Amino acid sequence: DTAVSQTPKYLVTQMGNDKSIKCEQNLGHDTMYWYKQDSKKFLKIMFSYNNKELIINETVPNRFSPKSPDKAHLNLHINSLELGDSAVYFCASSQAPREGLSYEQYFGPGTRLTVT
């Protein structure tokens, strides 16, 4: 069974369009994340959701909006796509971090977004 799944795997679209990427986890985790991996393979946190509340937003343009309908899902909606948004986007999940405890994150397979 897939632990963290994302759809679509590939997404090709034109500048100015609006698109969404879906993520689902079946691990029972409380926290979900979105990461962006650029052309240089650098993986950087975009958002984190804990119990449906946004707790991290790392200098991401407000064209990007995460939506969490429930604990198992965290979707990423992108408005007015730009060339620079081309990258691979990864969803991840983990148990909720707590004082003194760190939990590993489990990643989905990624969505390769190409903006033309």
Binding site for other proteins (CB under 8 A): 4, 33, 40-45, 48, 50, 55-56, 58, 90, 92, 97, 100-102, 104-110
Task: Name which of 42 and 79 has its Cβ closer to other proteins.
Answer: 42
Task: Name which of 40 and 69 has its Cβ closer to other proteins.
Answer: 40
User: Whole-number minimum distance, CB 51 to other proteins, in Å?
Assistant: 11
**43 within 8 A of 110, measured Cβ to Cβ:** no
Q: How far apart are CA 21 and CA 46, in angstroms?
A: 14
Half-sphere exposure (Cβ direction) of 42: Cα atoms closer than 13 Å:
3
User: Whole-number minimum distance, CB 59 to other proteins, in Å?
Assistant: 12
Task: Name which of 14 and 53 has its Cβ closer to other proteins.
Answer: 53
In sequence order, which residues have a C-beta less than 8 Å from that of residue 21 and are 6 or more positions away? Answer: 6, 7, 8, 11, 75, 76, 78, 89, 91, 111, 113
User: Whole-number minimum distance, CB 35 to other proteins, in Å?
Assistant: 8
User: Whole-number minimum distance, CB 61 to other proteins, in Å?
Assistant: 19
Task: Name which of 14 and 41 has its Cβ closer to other proteins.
Answer: 41
Three-class SS of residue 36? strand
